Chain A
Amino acid sequence: MSDVSQDPGLGPGLQRPPVNSHSMPATPEARASEFVAVSGSESENTSATTMLVTAYVLFWLLLLGFIWMTWRRQQSLANRLQIIESKIANLRSGEGK
Chain B
Amino acid sequence: MRNRDRGWALALTVATALLLAGLFCAVAYRAPIAQAEAGGLSQKIFYFHVPAAYALYLCGAVCCGFSAAYLVRPTSQNNAWARAASECAVFFGLVVLTSGPLWAKKAWGVYWTWDPRLTTLLLSVLIYASVVILRVFAGDGDSERRFAAALGVLGTVNLPIVHLSVRKWGGNHPTVITRGGGGISPEMRHVLLLGFVAMTALSALLLWLRARNAKQHDRVREAEDELDLSDVID
Contacts and interface: CB of A to CB of B under 8 A. Distances in A.
User: Do A and B originate from a single complex?
Assistant: yes
Given A56-B24, A81-B220, A48 B48 contact: no
B91 A66 contact: yes
A51 B223 CA distance: 49
B227 A88 contact: yes
Given A77-B220, A84-B223, A62 B102 contact: no
Nearest to A73: B213
Given A55-B42, A80-B224, 8 more contacts: A48-B106, A51-B42, A52-B102, A59-B52, A59-B95, A62-B98, A74-B216, A80-B220
A54 interface: yes
Interface string A32-61: 000000001100101011011011101100
Contacts of B94: 62
Interface residues of B, number: 34
B209 interface: yes
A73 to B, nearest CB: 6
Contacts of B133: none
B42 A52 contact: yes
- The dominant DSSP class at the B interface is helix
Interface string A9-49: 00000000000000000000000000000001100101011
26 contacts: A44-B105, A46-B105, A48-B39, A48-B40, A48-B42, A51-B45, A52-B45, A54-B102, A55-B42, A55-B98, A55-B103, A58-B102, A62-B98, A63-B91, A63-B202, A70-B206, A70-B213, A73-B213, A74-B213, A77-B213, A77-B216, A77-B217, A84-B220, A84-B224, A87-B227, A91-B234
A: contact size bracket: 20 to 34
Nearest to B48: A59
B110 interface: yes
B213 A41 contact: no
Interface in B12-44: 24, 39-42, 44
Contacts of A54: 102
